[in-house]
Amino acid sequence: MTSSTPITTSVFDLFKVGPGPSSSHTIGPMKAAFDFRQRLGSLSPDVAQQADAIHVHLYGSLSATGKGHGTDRAVVAGLLGWQPETTDPDALLGLLKDSAVVYAVPVGDRTISIGPEQIYFQRKRYDSPYANTMVLQLLAHDQVLLEAEYYSIGGGFIIRKGEPETPLTTASVPYPYSSMAELKALLKAHSLTLDELLITNEMRLTGKSRSEVNRRLDQILDFMHKAVRRGLRQKGTLPGSIKLSRKAPILFQQAKGMSHSSDSFLIFLNAYCLAASEENAAGGIVVTAPTSGASGVIPGLTYLAKHHFHYDRATLRAGMLAAAAVGFLVKHNASISGAEMGCMGEIGTASAMGAAFLTRCAQPNGSISAIEAAAEIAIEHHLGMTCDPIGGYVQIPCIERNAMGAVKAYNAFLLATSGAASFQKISLDAVIKVMKATGRDMSTKYKETSEAGLALSATEC
Ligand code: SF4
């Protein structure tokens, strides 16, 4: 029996492929706009005939930092029928470049144009249960014919108003849990390893066979590592007014030249994390882990694990499942959204997932206590971390923060695997509860609105 609704998120909904720079501001709005487009397609012909405009209203953090995050382009892409995983990042960056160009959206058997004039970055407060809210409308002479309200809740997950937060799945999972305590009890009662429990649930949730789940995990790792490799090759400055130079290729060259130094390991890790994060900032294709803003931590660690520690594919997959379990628990019991939790929800969660990944990879028999301890330590040392990106771009502090999150993950793994489990006094469930309470207490200014903190320092530079 679970104490609340069981977790029914798929590993492949947590690890989603899509364009950067922000899953809540890019992938989520694209999916919401795509959903609205589907609704337009099923309108009765007489309603569709009357329509003369589509309006998009962005509220909260979507409005505050949506320009820098490319939310307007993502909305247009979704209305055009583009899907995150198959979007061409260059084509996405080209949308809305020319303010005179408008785009045709099918409504029944005709089309309606949308351009920058129809996308409103609303400054007024909007009564909504979530920080990232968008309202899409189909109008006729300013009268609303169809309206849908969406919440982008982090990591590219969306909820449509009136629908439950946890999507109703037709399949119930064989091993239901909603907390780490319940997960541990299930492992003990059924004498299962963590990998086995998670893969069994995943097969039921997605209808995929074991080999299909394994193949998709390999693909996700490949997408992550492609982002790292692209980022290690790219030079120049990132898009946006900050004109931030890419640093990953410089660090990579530096690390290669100092193979006898004890620092080289850390510099390699920094280079890999920066490479994926810089690709994300440039709008490239990344994997949410658990979000796009934090999409450098796990790719950096898995790249290191593969190329420096030479773990085989099966071990990497097992590590990814352990990471997913931690991501599920945070998403289910707190939030992975910077707009809800500040950066502890994004980089803090990614770091905890990375710590779980490293711990599972290093321990073939996968002690759940060590995995829990590593994840707990990583979250504990991100509590209260604010989200205040300069200019609304996912660049400063985000890119370096991914490298810092990965280094903390590594140290959390070392701390958790040295000494007895009895050293661990705080449970993962407890620290997630603290994260939720801290996020609730933080001022909105520090939750992806660019209204305080480092975001203001730009004016002083
Ligand atoms: S500061 Fe952290 S939470 Fe905010 S946009 Fe950057 S990575 Fe995401």
Q: Are residues 257 and 110 in the same domain?
A: no
50 with 118, same domain: the answer is: yes
Single-letter amino acid, residue 145: L
Counting every residue, how long is the chain?
A: 461
Helix axes 428-441, 313-333, angle to 10 degrees: 50
Q: Tell me the C-alpha distance between 303 and 276, whole Å.
A: 10
What residues contact residue 149 under an 8 Å CB cut-off, 6+ apart?
A: 128, 133, 134, 135, 160, 161
Last residue of a domain, one of 125, 155, 185: 155
- Is 295 a member of any domain? yes
- The pLDDT value given to residue 380: 98
Q: Could you tell me if residue 198 is inside a domain?
A: yes
Query: How much is the pLDDT for 125?
Result: 84
67 falls within a domain:
yes
Residue 103 Cα to ligand 1 midpoint, Å, equals 31
| DSSP label at residue 240 | S
Q: Report which ligand 1 atom has the smallest distance to the Cα of 402.
A: 7
CA pair distance 326, 412, nearest whole angstrom? 14
Q: Based on the domain organization, do 255 and 393 belong to the same domain?
A: yes
Point out the ligand 1 atom lying closest to the alpha carbon of residue 291. Answer: 8
- Does residue 196 lie in a domain region? yes
* Shared domain check, 222 and 115: no
- Domain count of the chain? 2
Token look-up 């849990």 returns: 177
In a domain, 60, yes or no: yes
pLDDT digits (tens, 9 = 90+) for 332-374: 999 999 999 999 999 999 999 999 999 999 997 768 999 999 9
What does the pLDDT read at residue 461?
46
Residues 193 and 143 in one domain: no
Distance 453 CA to ligand 1 centre (A): 12
User: Same structural domain for residues 408 and 341?
Assistant: yes
Cα dist. 324→69, 265, 290, 333, 359 in Å? 25, 25, 8, 14, 13
Is the same domain home to 150 and 234? no
pLDDT tens column, 377-408: 999 999 999 999 999 899 999 999 999 999 99
d(CA 171, CA 250): 48
Residues 135 and 185 in one domain: no
Helices (H), strands (E): how many in the chain? Answer: 21, 9
C-alpha of residue 327 to centroid of ligand 1, in Å: 16
**Is 37 a pocket residue for ligand 1 (Cβ < 6 Å)?**
no
Q: If you measure from the C-alpha of residue 208 to the centroid of ligand 1, how many angstroms do you get, rounded to a whole number?
A: 33
Q: Torsion angle of alpha carbons 346, 291, 352, 232, nearest 10°?
A: -110
Q: Other CB atoms closer than 10 Å to residue 162's CB: what's the count? A: 7
- Taking only the tens place, the pLDDT of each residue in 241-283 is 999 999 999 999 999 999 788 889 999 999 999 999 999 999 9
- From atom 8 of ligand 1, which residue's Cα is the shortest distance away? 293
Hey, whose CA ends up nearest to atom 3 of ligand 1? 343
**CB distance 343 to ligand 1 below 6 Å:** yes
**Last residue of a domain, which of 103, 122, 155?**
155
Bin 391: left if φ > 0, else alpha if -120 < ψ < 50, else beta.
Answer: left
User: What amino acid occupies position 21?
Assistant: P
* 294 Cβ closer than 6 Å to some ligand 1 atom: yes
Report strand pairing: 53-60 vs 119-121. Answer: parallel
Residues 190 and 150 in one domain: no
* Nearest atom in ligand 1 to 386's CA: 1
- Which of 89, 120, 155 is the last residue in one of the domains? 155
CA of 128 to the centre of ligand 1 (A): 22
Are 145 and 192 members of one domain? no
Does some domain include residue 380? yes
Residues with Cβ within 8 Å of residue 117, at least 6 apart in sequence: none
CATH code of residue 99:
3.30.1330.90
Residue nearest to atom 1 of ligand 1 (CA): 387
450 C-alpha to center of ligand 1: Å?
10
The confidence score (pLDDT) of residue 3 equals: 60
247 is written with which tokens? 């640093």
Q: Which range marks the domain in which residue 87 is found?
A: 22-155
Residue 440 lies in a domain: yes
Segments of the chain scoring below 70 in pLDDT: 1-3, 165-171, 366, 421-422, 458-461
pTM over 0.85: yes
Is 17 within the bounds of a domain? no
Burial 329-358, CB ≥16 within 10 A → b, else e = bbbbbbbbbbbbbbbbbbbbbbbbbbbbbb
With residue 274 as reference, give the H or E element that holds it: helix 264-281
On whether both 231 and 321 belong to a single domain, the answer is: yes
Q: Closest ligand 1 atom to the C-alpha of 346?
A: 3
Instruction: Examine the domain organization and report whether 99 and 195 are in the same domain.
Output: no
Greatest pairwise CA separation for the chain in angstroms = 74
